Amino acid sequence: MYILGISAFYHDSAAALIQDGRVLYAAEEERFTRVKHDNQFPFQALNFCLAKAGISIDNVDYVSYYEKPLLKFERILENFVKTYPWSWRPFVRGIPEWLGDKITIEKIIRKKLGYKGRTFFIPHHVSHAAASFYPSPFTKSAILTADGIGEYQTTGLWLGEGNIITPLKSIDFPDSLGLLYATFTAFLGFKVNEDEYKVMGLAAYGEPSYADKIYQIIDVQDDGSFRMDMRFFAFRESFQMWSKNFEKLFGKPRLKDEPVTQRDKNLASSIQKVTEDIYFRMLNHLYQTTKCENVCIGGGVGLNALANGKIYQTTPFKNVYVFGAAGDSGGAPGSALFAHHHILGNSARHSINDLRIGSDYTDEEIEPLLKKFGLQYTVMAENKLVEEAAGLLSQQKIVGWFQGKMEFGPRALGARSILARASPRNMKEQVNKVKIREQFRPFAGSILQEKVYEYFEVPEENHLSPFMVFCFQVKKEKRDAISAIVHEDNTCRVQTVNESNGLYYKLIQKFYEITGVPCILNTSYNVKGEPVVENPEQAVQDFLKTDMDYLVIGNFLVAKSPSRG
């Protein structure tokens, strides 16, 4: 049985195809359209999934959409009435889009896809809960979902047992932990739904000196429930997230091209601290409600790796699973999995610890492009390729790495990555120049699974973190060895790599043999303003326009200098 899951029309549109409860393929639309965080209907991602499976839309048994559009539109109309006349301008600007594609999802599915079967519309936070629970290894688990907003819901507490997800408690719009964090993201001159991770990175350089002021605009209870004082926020009725009262309390906003000041760093540190406080209160209450030692986390707030890394110390939960595509793109497989398990009653589940479920390319497709661009390259057997690449990394070369199936979700996990040695410290500055991004932003580390306990303060020796969604303290005695990925607060976002990662695991193993360090710097293969590369031509173009030294693509090692033939 095939179910096609779809998310669209907010940000990070995606499609996923599952067969008998197993996620076969999934991809974000942005990877194909090259529009970062593309929110349009994911026709290209959808066609990729079907083509890769060798089926047509006629072979799809059910389509599942990640939210209820009519319920969301009801909330928009209700909000307009409550905030009129101040909300007139954004309402008039947004209503044509709603009366077009956004509210006619089923029409698009039937007419433009030619689909004739049954379509399920799954509530937004249910899709998040499903994406976090069903791929987890737990038969029973507490579940927390938190993001900006779905239809009405912004936060959900749930219990997952077998194939059933039961709601326990919710928080609705306008009270939203995601929108609170987004308000400070915008106030600091960054883009909402895109740059929240910049605020998280910036937080390490400041002190939470504004935390008390933030608690003046949000009332937080012991169980993590909260109410936002809407006198300080304007996202209900305008194009701006904050109000004049907000500026009176925190000062003038930073414009996007202005230098980052110490005040900005302190604001970032403060909102991170308050977010973590609310997050942990929710989780502790969830544990007290469920008495379950397992927890699954979904929704955009679940991508706050700095907070996730502290769950083990600040809550009673022993086992934590955060789906790598915790944001809206994950709603595509989440909605499909909910339809399969909860609605259709199928009990057999399949855990996910590998998100390489996207597009891939053969050497026969890659080599003509290398010739087209006049590149100097060498064809190598796998073992030789790994040996050469590891040697280059040990010599402080920056290497583009394009191998196998593309990752699903926002993180590069060793398929579409830019790699470098994790020391000396200035490797961070060199890679940030390649990426054309701010120097305050940290990089993640990919480490051999069997060595993670030696380098990081992880909760257990065999800690599994394949999706790069946890930050952990770096052990003091190891900080010099991986100094380029140690952040200002001595943390690092960690990806554990084992034999299931294939060639990437072999690369880090070989690097360990050469250097004695089982960890490398790993960042996504893209430059500022563009999505992660999807195909070989994009990889070559980014390689040529940046200061990467080498490209390892398929079985080819590509040098920077052009060929002479």
* CATH (residue range 177-322): 3.30.420.40
- What type of residue is 12? D
pLDDT at 88 over 80: no
**363-562 homologous superfamily:** Carbamoyltransferase, C-terminal domain (3.90.870.20)
pLDDT at 215 over 70: yes
**pLDDT tens digits, residue range 338-347?**
999 999 999 9
Q: Which of 85-89, 286-290, 414-418, 536-540 has the lowest mean pLDDT?
A: 85-89
Q: Where residue 70 falls among pLDDT bands split at 50, 70, 90?
A: confident
State residue 564's pLDDT score: 34
CA-CA-CA-CA dihedral for 428, 429, 434, 440, to nearest 10: 90
pLDDT at 103 over 80: no
**pLDDT tens digits, residue range 497-520?**
999 999 999 999 999 999 999 999
State residue 462's pLDDT score: 84
CATH class of 2-128+328-343: alpha beta
**pLDDT tens digits, residue range 160-178?**
999 999 999 999 999 999 9
Please say whether the beta carbons of 210 and 332 come within 8 A.
Answer: no
Please say whether the beta carbons of 195 and 186 come within 8 A.
Answer: no
Single out the residue of 326, 188, 362, 318 nearest to residue 260, CA to CA: 188
Q: Where residue 71 falls among pLDDT bands split at 50, 70, 90?
A: confident
Burial class (CB in 10 A: 0-12, 13-18, 19+), 291: exposed
Percent of the chain with pLDDT over 90: 86
pLDDT at 349 over 90: yes
Single out the residue of 563, 551, 488 nearest to residue 203, CA to CA: 488
**294-298 and 319-322 beta bridge pairing:** parallel
Task: Report d(CA 396, CA 483) in Å as an integer.
Answer: 13
Task: Report d(CA 65, CA 152) in Å as an integer.
Answer: 17
Q: 457 in helix, strand or coil?
A: coil
**pLDDT (average), residues 122-151:** 97
Handedness of CA 184, 189, 192, 196 (dihedral sign): negative
Task: Report d(CA 10, CA 71) in Å as an integer.
Answer: 15
Q: Which two tokens stand for residue 79?
A: 């909000």
State residue 439's pLDDT score: 83
**pLDDT (average), residues 282-311:** 97
Please say whether the beta carbons of 481 and 492 come within 8 A.
Answer: no
Residue ranges, comma separated, of all CATH 3.30.420.40 domains in the chain are 2-128+328-343, 177-322
